[in-house]
Chains A and B, each alone.
Chain A
Amino acid sequence: MTTTGKTSILILDDEPIVSKRLQPALEKRGYEVESFYESIKAMARIQERNFDIVVTDLKMEGIDGMQFLAEVKKLSPRTEIIVITGFATMDTAKESMRKGVFDFLAKPFKLGEIQEVIKKAEEHIRAGA
């Protein structure tokens, strides 16, 4: 956990609406959240600090989600990754499970569903700590 004692979450999705809706809902639950629309910028950010949880789309312009999550795992193996993606890319998403992804959700998903997955990821981190 971070110095504030809060679980930190990075959200990366090239459609701004995703983090625009997700960030306030997660903050309301007491998480510390940073949002990115461009994978380049998110990539730069993870060089600077670790996050407890990363929520990322798979199919984006520039660096794709697969590359991004590989980098996250390399820099911070304890970070749990949750993949959010459209139905069309579900096969790729399943493939990502083999790369140590904690869980994946198909868009559109309910707020409650992702909160649930994040809670489980949090418990997983604690159990491993």
Chain B
Amino acid sequence: MFGLFDHIRTKLLHMRRREQVSLAALFSNFQQVLELNNRVLTTFASMHDKLGGDYIFDLQYLRSSKQYILETVRELIDAFDAMAPGRYSALYDSFRAIRNKLDSELERRPVLPDIMAVPFESIGHNDMDEAGAKSTRLAMIAEAAAAEIPSGFAVTTSAYRLFMEYNDLGTGIRNAEEGWHGGTMTVQESSGKIRSQILSGTIPPRLRRALNRELEALRRKYGDDPLHLAVRSSAWGEDGALSFAGQYDSFLNVLPEDLHDAYRKVLASAYSPAAMEYRREYDFEPDEVFMAVSVQAMIDARTSGVAYSLSPVSQEINGVEIAAVWGLGSPIVSGTVEGDRFLVSRREGHEVISQSIAHKKAAMRNRSGGSVGMEPVSEALCDISSLSEGEIGLIADTAIRLEQYFKTPQDMEFAFDAAGKLVVLQSRPLRIETEDCSLSSDLSDALKQYPVVLSGEGDVAQQGVGSGPVFVAWEGRNLEDFPVGGVLVAHLSSPQYAAVLSRASGVITDIGSPLGHMATIAREYRVPALLNASRATLVLHEGEVVTLDAEQKTVYQGLVRELRLHDYMCDHMDETYEYRLLRRMLKLTEPLYLIDPQSSDFTPQGCQTLHDIARFIHEKAVEILTEIPYKTSSGDACPGGRLELPVPLDLVVLDIGGGLVADHPSVVPLSGKRKTIRPEQIKSEPLHAFIEGVTLEGVWQSSPVPVDFSSFMSSMTRTFSGDAVTPHRMGQNLAVISDCYLHLSLRLGYHFTLIDSYESEDGARNSVQFRFAGGVTGVTRRSRRARFLSEVLRSFDFSVTLREDLVVARAKGRMAQDISELLRILGILVAYTRQLDVSMVNDAQIQTHCQEFERIASRR
């Protein structure tokens, strides 16, 4: 009961407040909200575009972008607040929290998620900051099913930070480092002081609980087998241009009860004299040490070793290099023993080019009680190869697959367990140094001998060099046939290619924008991508091997070895501080977490990013407009009226500026009575296109569809539970329009449809959003209809999110005429889908309807 009174009271309060804001002011504020919202979204897109490598940007750019995006979002909140003063004031708190994080990033205090330990299977490719490079790469390998990895978890950089704070080590470290820099201490003395402080530190209770939890989970995976651990450093910068390889410690065969000690020892190795000198030489900030730790279940290795996917020994021989020993691999990694060595062809079949089998007297093995040690190798095994021919081939194949996946040659550590299964223990970029420094400058001469297929056209979405066979994605082609390492060639760039991008070595399209969805995905996977290259599908032929140099917007015929080598040797942009900072800034601003307006976290407090804030505001700003009564107390007539259409779509149009023909003789300003509007009076382009679609002859089903009893019952319960809380949606179908804007909220056949679109001459600003949920039937049929919708929408190159019966589809960065076409399609879809769930009796219906729809949509 109190809830109801509260509801009424709030409604009345809002009515009173709203009356203080005149309609003219409300519309003008709404226009401003739209404008600012657009500006925010294009700024995200433009910042993301900088990740692709085509731009040269510096810290100054990052500082001013931060400033700009914060000011714009702040203005957006202000404009929205003017529409409903004080109603969502908590938005300011969410905004402040995000602003503080951004400031902190730019002051070189990275924002780390507040989590202590993460199992490998929960680490995503964007989590390198918290999980460290080593664990993240292992998790990526497992996710891509590129190889087996050990089970394990990452102890995060946040845990490191907490450990340092909990033990109050900051001052001690600073003093010891200053002592060394000031010359009063040697580096050894300074390092010794710091390390002894770390080694005697207490593991904070929160971290201890997290470690216990993850250990327990690991034990459960292992069942009855005794669990031993490999505890390895996974610090920031370990894999970057400044390779810290070998500077930090790893501990093998650690008993679970000794994990805390091993953890402290790995942390302490961040302050070994070598690591400290390295950091000083490369001008690291003292507080830029972030040590995550990788905890892995120990493999009882029969044979271990290292493989380089591209032999750095010489440029002439292009092979995979493998070194292996019996037992554990650390003696060969540290180079203290001689192992068996193989140089293997990179071509399929992986023929062994040369090999030398070492005399292996001793092997490092796990010892009981949690240690490792060298043990003699039986005479029979001393002089035979530690790898079979099949195993050599498997290693070469895996190394090349990882090179393909990470887009750079790999330095991979591996082991064969007692059962003979290959496990990848680590994979990191292989630094290829060449003695021939002139290679770079001779490259331009070398390139002249390769025929150029395409040059000088297109927009770069992601930099880089990639080669492979061309796969032309002609219409209707099954993308599952896409070969690993292929170069995707398509007419249009479309999010439907997302699924193959992780396997692609390059993407070239005739049409597309670096600000679109596919470009974003190409950047996520760092796939070299040249979009808008106009005649790619004409000049590139299926199966032909080509090399794409996105940086120079050039496609060469054949495999250009020099170019790939050059690319491998260059410092990559993703290894720069500025690139990583931009990525982290985007992580705080760009992801959208608020997808479903009906969900309970769709609140100002639920806004985690600036995009969430913009999204929330857009949704609620429209809601405020839909609440406008048709006649205000001051007697203003609303600019708009009921639209006359040949189909029974009862639609009221509200013009917030420029959406209707002014002073049209048939627009009679009636006070008290609603006006009617005819389609030809509509100036709003997106609404025009929508009407064309929704009224397409023969699509709107006018005869009532018979509803069976269970569907009817399910609609009754749904209507009364879910919908009662949003009363304004129960009523009128409404279109809010301006000359270039359309917001439609429709309730037809028990489902809600929302369309929001902006269409102008500036393609970068254009967007369409379509949202669909609900229906008359039970969840199975509704979700079938949702699947039908998402199939259709994907085929028109929308980016689609599907969650049970909720479908959200988005398209952006398209030309005005494309936006119009999409709205026409959405119009047809609305008419077609009205009561479709009722006929969705089985899965086969989905395909049938897709085909039927395609037939209708191609009609004009």
A positions within 8 Å CB-CB of B = 6, 13, 15, 17-18, 20-22, 24-25, 27-30, 32, 86-88, 107-112, 114
Is A107 in contact with B440, judged by CB distance below 8 angstroms? no
Query: Which 6 residue pairs spanning A and B have beta carbons closest together?
Result: A30-B444, A108-B57, A15-B58, A108-B55, A27-B440, A86-B60
A88 contact set on B, CB distance < 8 A: 60, 64
Is A15 in contact with B59, judged by CB distance below 8 angstroms? yes
Given the interface contacts A17-B576, A108-B50, A111-B551, does A28 sit within 8 Å of B440 by beta carbon? yes
Q: Would you give the 0/1 interface string for B419-447, flagging 1 where the beta carbon is closer than 8 Å to chain A? A: 00000000000000000000011011100
- CB-defined A-B contacts under 8 Å, sample of 26: A13-B58, A15-B59, A15-B60, A17-B58, A17-B577, A18-B58, A20-B571, A20-B576, A21-B573, A24-B440, A25-B551, A28-B566, A86-B58, A86-B60, A86-B64, A88-B60, A88-B64, A107-B60, A108-B50, A108-B57, A108-B58, A110-B54, A110-B56, A110-B460, A111-B54, A111-B551
Is A108 in contact with B61, judged by CB distance below 8 angstroms? yes
Q: Would you give the 0/1 interface string for B30-70, flagging 1 where the beta carbon is closer than 8 Å to chain A? A: 00000000000000000000100011111111001000000
A25 contact set on B, CB distance < 8 A: 551
- Of the candidates A6, A13, A17, A112, the one whose C-beta lies within 8 Å of that of B578 is A17
| Beyond A17-B57, A22-B56, A108-B55, 5 extra complex contacts between A and B, CB < 8 Å | A15-B58, A15-B59, A28-B440, A107-B58, A108-B57
Nearest A residue (CB) for B563: A28
Is B553 in contact with A87, judged by CB distance below 8 angstroms? no
CB distance from B851 to the nearest CB of A (A): 44
CB distance from A8 to the nearest CB of B (A): 11
A27 contact set on B, CB distance < 8 A: 440-441, 443
A20 contact set on B, CB distance < 8 A: 571, 576
Is B441 in contact with A32, judged by CB distance below 8 angstroms? yes
Is the contact region of chain A dominated by helix, strand, or loop, or is it mixed? helix
Is A29 in contact with B61, judged by CB distance below 8 angstroms? no
Nearest A residue (CB) for B576: A17
Q: Is B479 an interface residue (CB 8 A)?
A: no
Is A28 in contact with B443, judged by CB distance below 8 angstroms? yes
Nearest A residue (CB) for B444: A30
Is B57 in contact with A107, judged by CB distance below 8 angstroms? yes
A108 contact set on B, CB distance < 8 A: 50, 55-58, 61
C-alpha gap A16/B394 in the complex (Å): 42
Is B571 in contact with A24, judged by CB distance below 8 angstroms? yes
Is B441 in contact with A18, judged by CB distance below 8 angstroms? no
Q: Is B313 an interface residue (CB 8 A)?
A: no
C-alpha gap A45/B639 in the complex (Å): 70
Q: Is B841 an interface residue (CB 8 A)?
A: no
Is B566 in contact with A111, judged by CB distance below 8 angstroms? no
A6 contact set on B, CB distance < 8 A: 441
Nearest A residue (CB) for B549: A28
Given the interface contacts A17-B576, A20-B576, A28-B566, does A109 sit within 8 Å of B56 by beta carbon? yes
C-alpha gap A18/B573 in the complex (Å): 11
Is A28 in contact with B56, judged by CB distance below 8 angstroms? no
CB distance from A111 to the nearest CB of B (A): 6
Q: Is B839 an interface residue (CB 8 A)?
A: no
A110 contact set on B, CB distance < 8 A: 54-56, 460
Given the interface contacts A17-B576, A20-B576, does A107 sit within 8 Å of B56 by beta carbon? yes
Nearest B residue (CB) for A6: B441
A32 contact set on B, CB distance < 8 A: 441
C-alpha gap A24/B50 in the complex (Å): 18
CB distance from A80 to the nearest CB of B (A): 19
B positions within 8 Å CB-CB of A = 50, 54-61, 64, 440-441, 443-445, 460, 551-553, 566, 570-571, 573, 576-578
A15 contact set on B, CB distance < 8 A: 58-60
CB distance from B573 to the nearest CB of A (A): 6
- Of the candidates A29, A30, A87, A111, the one whose C-beta lies within 8 Å of that of B56 is A111
Is B60 in contact with A28, judged by CB distance below 8 angstroms? no
Is A86 in contact with B61, judged by CB distance below 8 angstroms? yes
A111 contact set on B, CB distance < 8 A: 54-56, 551
C-alpha gap A13/B56 in the complex (Å): 12
A87 contact set on B, CB distance < 8 A: 64
C-alpha gap A85/B570 in the complex (Å): 25
C-alpha gap A20/B579 in the complex (Å): 13
C-alpha gap A13/B58 in the complex (Å): 10
CB distance from A16 to the nearest CB of B (A): 9
A13 contact set on B, CB distance < 8 A: 58
C-alpha gap A29/B442 in the complex (Å): 9
Is B57 in contact with A30, judged by CB distance below 8 angstroms? no
Given the interface contacts A17-B578, A111-B551, A112-B54, does A29 sit within 8 Å of B60 by beta carbon? no
Nearest B residue (CB) for A88: B64
Is B56 in contact with A21, judged by CB distance below 8 angstroms? yes
C-alpha gap A66/B576 in the complex (Å): 28
Q: Residue among A6, A22, A87, A110 with the most chain B CB within 10 A?
A: A110
CB distance from A22 to the nearest CB of B (A): 6
C-alpha gap A29/B571 in the complex (Å): 17
A29 contact set on B, CB distance < 8 A: 444, 552
C-alpha gap A109/B55 in the complex (Å): 5
- Of the candidates A17, A22, A28, the one whose C-beta lies within 8 Å of that of B444 is A28
C-alpha gap A90/B50 in the complex (Å): 21
Is A18 in contact with B553, judged by CB distance below 8 angstroms? no
Given the interface contacts A86-B61, A86-B64, does A18 sit within 8 Å of B444 by beta carbon? no
Nearest A residue (CB) for B442: A30
Nearest B residue (CB) for A28: B443
CB distance from B570 to the nearest CB of A (A): 5
B460 contact set on A, CB distance < 8 A: 110, 112
Nearest A residue (CB) for B456: A112
B576 contact set on A, CB distance < 8 A: 17, 20-21
Is A18 in contact with B440, judged by CB distance below 8 angstroms? no
Nearest A residue (CB) for B443: A28
C-alpha gap A15/B578 in the complex (Å): 10
C-alpha gap A24/B568 in the complex (Å): 12
B50 contact set on A, CB distance < 8 A: 108
Q: Residue among A13, A88, A107, A114 with the most chain B CB within 10 A?
A: A107
Nearest B residue (CB) for A32: B441
Nearest B residue (CB) for A29: B444
A114 contact set on B, CB distance < 8 A: 56
Given the interface contacts A20-B576, A21-B573, A24-B571, does A107 sit within 8 Å of B441 by beta carbon? no
C-alpha gap A6/B58 in the complex (Å): 28
CB distance from B272 to the nearest CB of A (A): 26
C-alpha gap A76/B570 in the complex (Å): 32
B440 contact set on A, CB distance < 8 A: 24, 27-28
Q: Residue among A13, A21, A22, A112 with the most chain B CB within 10 A?
A: A21
A112 contact set on B, CB distance < 8 A: 54, 460, 553
B570 contact set on A, CB distance < 8 A: 24
Nearest A residue (CB) for B241: A20
CB distance from B442 to the nearest CB of A (A): 9
CB distance from B49 to the nearest CB of A (A): 10
- Of the candidates A22, A30, A109, the one whose C-beta lies within 8 Å of that of B441 is A30
A21 contact set on B, CB distance < 8 A: 56, 573, 576
C-alpha gap A112/B64 in the complex (Å): 23
C-alpha gap A29/B445 in the complex (Å): 9
Nearest B residue (CB) for A59: B60
CB distance from A47 to the nearest CB of B (A): 25
C-alpha gap A109/B61 in the complex (Å): 11
CB distance from A6 to the nearest CB of B (A): 7
CB distance from A93 to the nearest CB of B (A): 14
CB distance from A122 to the nearest CB of B (A): 14
CB distance from A110 to the nearest CB of B (A): 5
Nearest B residue (CB) for A115: B552
C-alpha gap A22/B54 in the complex (Å): 11
B445 contact set on A, CB distance < 8 A: 30
C-alpha gap A32/B444 in the complex (Å): 12
A28 contact set on B, CB distance < 8 A: 440, 443-444, 551-552, 566
Nearest A residue (CB) for B283: A16
C-alpha gap A41/B61 in the complex (Å): 25
Q: Residue among A86, A87, A108 with the most chain B CB within 10 A?
A: A108
Nearest A residue (CB) for B578: A17
